[in-house]
Each structure stands twice: as C-alpha cells, then as structure tokens.
Amino acid sequence: MAHLTLKLSSQPAPSQWGANAILSFTDNSATIHIGEDQSSNLRIIKKAARSLEGLGNKEVQLEGEWDIEQQWAFACSYSSVKKPEGILWLDNNDKAELDKRFKALLFTRDIINRAPDDIHPQSLASEVINWLSQIGGEAISSKVISGDDLQKQGWTGIYNVGKGSDRPPLLLELDFNPSGKDDEPVSAALVGKGITFDSGGYSIKSSEGMLTMKCDMGGAATVAGALGLAMMQGLDKRVKLFLCCAENLINGNAYKLGDILTYKNGTTVEIVNTDAEGRLVLADGLLAACASGAPLIIDAATLTGAAMVAVGGDYNALFALDKELLQKVLKIAEQENEPAWPLPLELWHQENCPSAYADTANSRAQKGGGAGGASNAAGFLSRFVANQGKGWVHFDLASAFNNSATSYLPAGATGLGIRTIASTLLSVE
C-alpha cells in the first residue's frame, strides 16, 4: 500500500470487521470509527494510528471531517522513529498550526531518539542553537560555559556530574530577545536537564536500566522544542533558555559518593547517590534562571522513576510551591490535551534528604530515593529558586519516553509537554 486515504466516522464499522472494530477498509482507504466522547475518541484515533503505522503506507491523506485535535492525535501516534513523516493534513485553516506543532514535535523526538554517541553535550547545545536560530534569526543569541570554566565560575553541579566523561559538560544560555533591547526584561526562563547519557556513575545502573539512558536529556529537548513552538506561534516576549548538559560516566576523575558540593547560593550537598544527578545539574540551571530576573521559571527533566510509578506513562508529573501557578499550568495542559497531574510539594520537602555532613543530601540512601522520591527531588530543587518558589513550576517528565511501542504511542520519545510549556510562555503578560 503506497497511499492511503483516511476518514473518521461516527457510525459503527460494518459487521464483517468484527464487533466494536475501530478500523474498516476499502481498496485504498480506511475509516476510523469513533463515538461521541471527545477524550475517548482521541484514544481511539491513537490506537488506530498505531495499527495503521504497521501497514507500510508511504503516505496517509486525511479526508473528511477532522478537528485539529483529532488530526494531532493521529499524527503523534502514527509518526515513529522509522517513519517520522508521511501525514497529509486536511487543507483547511488548521494546517498552518499543525505544521508548526509537527516541526517542533519532530525536532524534540529526533534529538531524544538519536544515539548517545551522536547527541552529547556539545552536539546537543549546537543543534538547539542552530534550530532556534533558524526560527528566531537575529533575535537569538547564546553563550556556552564548558569544562573547567564551569568550576571556575561556580557551576558545581554540572561540572561534577560531567567530569567523569572525556566530553566536557556545559551550561548553555540561549537568549530569545525579539525587541533587540539590551535592557528588555526577561519574561520567562526555561531550564532543561541535558544528561545525554546516564550510566548512573558509581551508583551504576543495570544494563537493562542503562539501555534507554540516551533519553535522559529529554527535559532539555522538551524545553527547546517548546520554545521553538512558542516562537513559531508568535511569542513576542524575552525568554532565556538554560540547558544543563553532561554525560554521567565513570573514570578516575568522576564524582563519588561522599563528595560534598557547594553551590553558588551557599547550599552544601552531600552525594549519597551518583545516579541522582539530574537534580544536581538542574540546581545550577535554576540558580542561573533566577539570576535572569524572570518572574516565570519552568524546568523540565526526566528526573525520577518515582514519578512514573506515581502517575504512569501517560501523564507528566507537576510540582510547584506556587499553587496558583500550578493550577494555571494544569489547566493549560488539559486544554492542550497533554495529560499532567500534580504531586505533593511543600517547603518541608526540602528536609527529606538529610545529611550529617552538609545542608542536604542529593537523595536518600535507599532504592529509588525511598518513599515520596519524586516530591523529595522537587523539594531539593526548591532550595535553588527564589521567593519561596513563587513563579516556578517543575515538570517531571514521566511520559517523555517509551522503551517500546504501546497501543497508543510509538517507541521512543513522545514530545508530550512541548505544547503545554509553549502555551504557558504565550500566556505571560
């Protein structure tokens, strides 16, 4: 089958396709059979897309009556690593918006899915700069702090996590400033975890647990994709992007259990688990974001397995001390059809990783960080934001990556979160 036309129908499939069939076929066309509930219909469309993706169609032409969310649901589930494109939208007013979304989705997924020897700290930073510069032109500027310069300038988390690799760690600061004015206030700052490969360090992962750790820079890819999408959708406010990039590997120079790191804000951290490295690099990114003066700070990270245990692989977990902001972002996520769910975070979560030798440990010396591990990780991060967390929201990207294909999504990166973060940026007044 080279070319397939695809329609939606609210009528049941003909009986020969089986009771409750969601797909039926004629010569070179197929029909997805949906019901009346929009939420259920989107899942039906996704499930049908996964079935159709395996048929070997070169292109799928959508025809008939589809709303924009139905087209998008199909695209997210039909597009895969081996077949990223091949969807022809309806020729109507939704096409331009869908093209923007899809461009951002493909960038985000591609960066996450590529091999760790291809996407490492330097190439990740370069590809993000190049992609956003193609969209933003002269409104984009950037600087990179790398290797020993990180230590000299006090970015202790990124430096120590990445010093076990022959490829130096780095902090990318990218500035989208459409006004061109040097004194233009920063309206929002994005922070992304860019661990391009995570062995676990001396707290080494199993082979099975390490296999997919190319995806541990999913937070960096997600915030970069979201910024690009917001720019294509008309973002006219100044936004800074901070990517905290490193490979968490082992050599004679790698950071060790028992080490104590001192951050720019004076907080001391005892290392009790070198596999709890994401929060160590994000702490630097959050300090840099706060220094920008941005009233809105969003960080995103594939941070904890505990978040996946709590909300499963269909939701991202959200944390904020600023409860008003939390509710706003949750509402945006619902509007964008990107499932998200709040998990507990209070100031006292800062004390849930105690240390006898430092202000805090980076985790608990227990498997998975112990009970409430996702909240404790968020509590750790909250030590590095200003104003008791006002204006800050943390995405623990539980739904960023699938080890294998599911009934609704392909194997690899999902891109879930880019629309929510882009829409949040566009909502800044």
Residue 412 pairs with which residues in a beta bridge?
A: 402
Identified catalytic residue from 101, 238, 279, 383:
279
What is d(CA 235, CA 382) in angstroms, rounded to the nearest whole number? 28
What is d(CA 78, CA 280) in angstroms, rounded to the nearest whole number? 36
307: part of which helix (H) or strand (E)? Answer: helix 305-311
What is d(CA 123, CA 110) in angstroms, rounded to the nearest whole number? 13
3-state secondary structure 177-199: CCCCCCCCCCCEEEEEEEEEEEC
What is d(CA 81, CA 106) in angstroms, rounded to the nearest whole number? 10
Q: Do 321 and 392 contact (CB within 8 A), yes or no?
A: yes
State both tokens at 355.
């240390």
Sign for the pseudo-dihedral over CA of 65, 67, 69, 72:
positive
What is d(CA 376, CA 201) in angstroms, rounded to the nearest whole number? 21
Identified catalytic residue from 43, 50, 205, 256:
205
Catalytic, 95? Answer no
What is d(CA 290, CA 286) in angstroms, rounded to the nearest whole number? 6
Catalytic, 205? Answer yes
Q: Do 197 and 389 contact (CB within 8 A), yes or no?
A: no
Q: Catalogue the active-site residues.
A: 205, 279
